Amino acid sequence: MPSKEMQGLIGQMKMMMEKGFVPKFDGGMDVPRLRAVMESAQKAMPTESGVTFIPETLAGIEAEICTPQNARADAVIFYIHGGGFVCGNAFTSRGYGSLLAGETKIPVHTLSYRLAPEHPYPAAVDDCFNAYKDLAQRHTGKPVFLIGESGGGLLCLTTALKAKDAGLPLPAGVIAYSPIVDFSGILDRSANEGKDFTVNASWLGAINTMYCPDEGTRKDPYVSPVYGNYVGFPPLFLAWDSTETLAADSEQIAQMAKEAGVEVQSKSYPDCFHAFATAGRGTPESAEVLAATVTFIKGAIQ
């Protein structure tokens, strides 16, 4: 049973979704409206005290650094936002990006990668991979951690897969919250049909068309990481809601990575919501994920 705090947050989210104050991901998406709602929501969202936001570019792409007071100089975090591949940017990443920076004392880089439907696959994948290469080159020898939720979780996985396949230095760890990993339809997501108020089957159908309109590429591992080769993949941390539509995605990646010999930490939480981890300290469940994320990162820094 979810905590009282989680139940309260879910009630607030549902109410705000209906009033249009929080993005609603469904088959009837109005993308410009969705982007405007996300921008507005971020303006009202508090950021972590003591964290400053410094504009930058990564591989020529607009980005930002969330810099905490007394920042560590021995590691880097690259936070890749979610948003269904159609909304979000470095600015809307400030809430969770600043929380990560404050908790870890590590600078957190965020990115305004290109969005669908104007820029379908491989635009976002290329942008995140190129930004990662830029970060790794600027911080040679330092551990770089990838963190992302939902679509951002997919982009963390594909960035690490591309780095591995290219023979580049790998991230020190990959943290993916509720990632989507399949656009081909190979995964059976029917078990949680009707239980998830945030992501549903109609949204998945719409995003398939917007993000990857070329059906012939949907089994490419950089489109659908469920087809990836995880042998030699860096340590992986996964957290998800066991009753969300995309629970099958996290379960499958956790299993595949473990079978490939990857160091995997994973946990599911019942009756929360898609990408609930970004609620941070707001609920006991998300606070536990945050604490585990910080432990995972600090444990990987030599």
Question: Over the stretch 269-288, which tens digit does the pLDDT of each residue have?
Answer: 999 999 999 999 999 999 99
Instruction: Note down the domain range covering 289.
Output: 4-300
pLDDT at 41: 80
Residues making up the chain, counted from first to last: 302
Q: What is the pLDDT of the chain when averaged over all its residues?
A: 94
- Asked if residue 26 has pLDDT above 80, the reply is no
Task: Please give the pLDDT value at position 45.
Answer: 81
Residues 6 or more apart whose CB falls under 8 angstroms from that of 209 comprise 117
How would residue 115 be classed by pLDDT, with cut points 50, 70 and 90? very high
| Residue 131 contacts residue 65 (beta carbons within 8 Å) | no
Looking up residue 275, the CATH number of its domain turns out to be: 3.40.50.1820
Identity of residue 32 = P
Is residue 46 over pLDDT 90? no
Domain count, the chain: 1
pLDDT digits (tens, 9 = 90+) for 146-159: 999 999 999 999 99
What pLDDT band is residue 42 in, cutting at 50, 70 and 90? confident
Q: What is the pLDDT of residues 141-194, one digit of tens each?
A: 999 999 999 999 999 999 999 999 999 999 999 999 999 999 999 999 999 988
Residue 35 has pLDDT above 80, yes or no: yes
In the chain, the percentage of residues whose pLDDT exceeds 70 is: 96
Asked if residue 220 has pLDDT above 90, the reply is: yes
Confidence bin at 302 (pLDDT 50/70/90):
low
Q: Which pTM was predicted?
A: 0.96
